[in-house]
Homo-oligomer: A and B are copies of this chain.
Amino acid sequence: MKPLTEVQIHDGFWKEIRTKNATISLKNIYEQFKDTRFRALDLEKTDPPSHIFYDSDVAKWLESAAYFSVNYPDGEIENIVHETVQKIVSHALPCGYFNSYYQVYKPDRIFRDRTEHELYCAGHLIEAAVALDETGLDHALLPAMEKYADYIYTRFFVRRDTAFTTCGHPEIELALVRLYLHTKKRKYLRLAKFFLDERGVRAEEIYSGRDREYDQSHRPVRTQSEIVGHAVRALYLTIAMADVGRICRDEELFSAAHRLFESAVHTKLYVTGGTGSNYEGEQFTEPYDLPNEYAYSETCSAVALALLCGRLAEKKNNAEYHEVFERVLYNNLLAAQSLDGRAFFYTNPLQTDPAHLKFAEFHRFPYQPDAVRSELFKCSCCPPNLTRFFGSLEKHIYGTEGGAFLVNQYISSEGKGGGISVSVRTGLPFEGKTRILAEGKGTLRFRVPKWSQTRTCTVNGKEVGFRPRGGYFSILIDGKTEIDVDWDPRLRFVYADGRVAENSGKRAVEFGPLVLCAESADNPFPLHGVRIRSLHAAKKESGTFPTAQNIPSFSVEAERLKTGAGTSEKGDLYSYRRPTWEKCTLVLVPYFAWANRRKGEMRVWFL
């Protein structure tokens, strides 16, 4: 990871995504929030009342505004930021405490309700304060939040007079690490470590109505090896474990974080990078239990997994972290936002069939995935989480390790480190041609995407073969160097591990980093009885930046089960005749672009 200000995303696909987020999404989220989340900061009772996590929504919006202010300065947004910070600062209690919900509705319950997101909100406010200070957009929130953190330190660590020890929703832990890294004050790191080590050691700290796995309090975090419970909580907690483990050289803690990461990505990950397969409690379930239609795959848990990848790589780089990051980024995260930037998915299923609304009603299945994005949710945590993530994407493109400068993601941008400065220009995700201009003296290592079979590049016009080591190719840079590589994002089948019962005998299609899907909007037949014959003769249509009117698509040769083919003339349901498959063309589009046209079926995995 690199400080945000050291990297410039200057061009291409991600520039467009970010411009959209800075100019449309950020403002629209404010519009959606202003009468509720932002109004709550006036500390007046409202009808309906405010909510326990409103402060965190505002905080994530502030953090987003901070990041975007670097490249998209906007006076209107700056004013909102200053006004908002002013409210928080002026309404904080003399001791430093601030929570717009507790101060108004439950002043006598401060630090008494473990399950009510108090420290979770504090964590997000602290993150916002650090981001505002880092980016220079605002410097008033940081001292207020330091004072608040000091108060938390006093109450939870020194006096220990609170009704609970660890917050039901992890977040404060990773926020305190950020505060430590920014202020260098070790007490914040100490407090983060305290919160981690106190988790899961008290049988009485139960999340009401849930089992202890729900908020990862079932056992001490160092001894956990399977990732369980609420996915966002689990991953935020793991980030803090990785951070504290790395900074304190606490191998045991870091190893536990790594085990949990492996548990998530090797046994509980959707091909789209989604995690949490259970709508009930937004939770992880059993390994390899990955239902497509009833996937939960919350947007916030995709954000958390991507952040975790970056944090783990800080200790010791590993191409796998960036592979997972790329999978999450181009699929679950991008899909969570509409192409016009205004609406969001909270959950991200891999299959939908609006006809199943009737089915779900019949079966009283208590959850039906959204098939249409919304501008606002009752629990609207995801939209500002996505903007703060896209707003700080710069951090995740480059890295350094052992003195070498690393290109981890192919995003048109400029960055520097290890004595080298580079400028990357790429056509990805739609075109593979990528040029890296490097200058300086040192070792440049660039990641070789697993989905590409490219094994050569040209350096200063001369073709060189490369055998990637650990997923990277190394070049010694001495002076101006021009590296050209064509990553060849062709269509490829992808298969799930045989233990994923849901996808036995099935395959999905990827194009470069993009998982593809089929939608009714392009395919006027049921999608359940479709098998793809071949990807060879695939025809690609369009390739410019996608809008609802211009979604890049791929036509592949497929076969579909002839409806009623297996039936006798009498219309029997069952027949000894092998069913007929008829040739058809299946149109695939990037998963991230689904649900931007008319409502219909969507499917990622095919027979």
Structural contact, B498 and A362, CB atoms closer than 8 A:
no
One of A71-79, A266-274, A419-427, A541-549 at the interface: A266-274
Is the beta-carbon distance between B566 and A285 smaller than 8 angstroms? no
Please report the C-alpha to C-alpha distance between residue A265 and residue B529 in the assembled complex, in whole angstroms: 21
Check A573 against B498 for contact (C-beta < 8 Å): no
Size of the A side of the interface (Cβ < 8 Å), in residues, is 60
Indicate if A495 sits at the interface (CB-CB under 8 A). Answer: yes
A283 at the interface (CB under 8 A from B): yes
Q: A283-B362, A495-B577 are in contact. List 12 more A-B contacts (CB 8 A).
A: A267-B573, A280-B362, A280-B364, A286-B359, A291-B363, A493-B578, A495-B578, A497-B567, A498-B561, A499-B526, A499-B563, A504-B529
Give the residues in chain B near A346, CB-CB below 8 Å: none
Q: How far is the CB of A514 from chain B (nearest CB, A)?
A: 14
Contacts A362-B286, A574-B271; is A498 near B265 (CB within 8 Å)? no
In the complex, the answer to whether B574 meets A498 with C-beta atoms within 8 Å is no
A316 to chain B: closest CB distance in Å? 15
Tell me, in angstroms, the Cα distance from A279 to B363 when the chains sit together: 7
The reply to whether B500 and A573 form a contact with Cβ atoms under 8 Å apart is yes
- List the B side residues contacting A500 at CB < 8 Å: 573
Which are the 9 A-B pairs with shortest beta-carbon distances? Answer: A498-B561, A501-B528, A495-B566, A505-B607, A504-B529, A285-B362, A266-B571, A280-B364, A498-B563
For the complex, is A212 an interface residue (Cβ under 8 Å from B)? no
Indicate if A524 sits at the interface (CB-CB under 8 A).
no
Q: Of A364, A529, A574, which is in contact with the most chain B CB atoms at under 10 Å from its CB?
A: A574
Instruction: Tell whether A185 is near chain B: CB-to-CB under 8 Å.
Output: no
Measured between beta carbons, the chain B residues less than 8 angstroms from A265 are 572-573
Q: How far is the CB of A427 from chain B (nearest CB, A)?
A: 21
- Interchain nearest-CB distance for A491 vs B (Å): 11
Structural contact, B571 and A495, CB atoms closer than 8 A:
no
A562 closest partner in B (C-beta): B498
Which residues of A (482-523) have their CB < 8 Å from a CB of B?
Answer: 492-501, 504-505
- A466 to B259 CA separation, bound complex (whole angstroms): 69
Copies, count: 2
Contact between B561 and A504, CB atoms less than 8 A apart? yes
A528 closest partner in B (C-beta): B501
State whether B363 touches A495 (Cβ < 8 A): no
**A570 touching B495 by the CB < 8 A rule?**
no
How many Å from the CB of A365 to the closest CB on chain B? 7
Take A320-B570, A363-B280 as given contacts and tell me if A494 and B575 are in contact as well, using a CB distance cutoff of 8 Å.
yes
Residue among B279, B492, B564 making CB contact with A497, cutoff 8 Å: B564
Is A579 in the interface zone, CB < 8 Å from B?
A: yes
**Which residue from B289, B501, B575 sits with its C-beta under 8 Å from A495?**
B575
Cβ contacts under 8 Å, A457 to chain B: none
Q: Does A207 contact B (CB under 8 A)?
A: no
Across the interface, A579 reaches (CB within 8 A) one of B266, B355, B498, namely: B498
Sample (11) of A-B pairs whose CB atoms are under 8 Å apart: A269-B573, A286-B362, A493-B576, A493-B578, A494-B574, A494-B576, A495-B574, A495-B578, A497-B563, A498-B562, A505-B531
Separation of A355 and B492 alpha carbons in the complex (Å)? 33
* Centre residue among A278, A283, A286, A499 by max chain B CB count within 10 A: A499
A294 adjacent to chain B (CB < 8 Å):
yes
Contact with B along A563-607 (1 / 0, CB 8 A): 111110011111111110000000000000000000000000001
Smallest Cβ distance from A507 to chain B, in angstroms? 8
A498 and B565 in contact, given A278-B362, A573-B267, A578-B493 (Cβ under 8 angstroms): yes
Cβ-based interface call for A210 (8 A): no
- Cα A562 to Cα B283 in complex, Å, equals 28
Residues of B within 8 A of A378 (CB): none
Contacting B at CB under 8 A, from A348-367, are: 355, 358-359, 362-366
**Which chain A residues in 449-499 approach chain B with CB under 8 Å?**
450-451, 492-499
A42 within 8 A of B: no
- 0/1 string, A269-313, CB within 8 A of B gives 1: 101000000111001011001010010000000000000000000
Residues A145-193 near B (CB distance < 8 A)? none
- Give the distance in Å from the alpha carbon of A268 to the alpha carbon of B264 in the complex: 39
A501-B529, A531-B505 as given contacts; A496 in contact with B573, CB under 8 Å: yes
CB distance from A357 to the nearest CB of B (A): 11
Q: With a CB–CB cut-off of 8 A, which chain B residues contact A358?
A: 285-286
A501–B563 alpha-carbon span in the complex (Å): 11
Bound-complex Cα distance A236 to B607 (A): 39
For residue A450, which residue of chain B has the nearest CB?
A: B576
* Contact residues in B for A431 (Cβ distance below 8 Å): none
Are B529 and A496 interface neighbours, CB within 8 A?
Answer: no
- The distance in angstroms between the C-alpha atoms of A291 and B505, with both chains bound, is 18
Contact A294 B363 (CB under 8 A): yes
The complex places the Cα of A561 from the Cα of B497 at a distance, in Å, of 9
Contacts of A575 in B (CB 8 A): 494-495, 497
Whether a CB of chain B sits under 8 angstroms from the CB of A439 is no
Residues of B within 8 A of A11 (CB): none
Q: Indicate whether A262 reaches chain B with its CB closer than 8 angstroms.
A: yes
A450 to B573 Cα, complex, angstroms: 14
B residues near A493, Cβ cutoff 8 Å: 576, 578
Q: Is the CB of A362 within 8 A of B289?
A: yes
Distance in Å from the Cβ of A363 to the closest Cβ of chain B?
6
Residues of B contacting A567 in the complex (Cβ-Cβ under 8 angstroms): 497
Most buried by B among A269, A451, A505: A505
Residue of B nearest to A564 (CB): B497
Which residues of B have CB within 8 Å of A563?
497-499
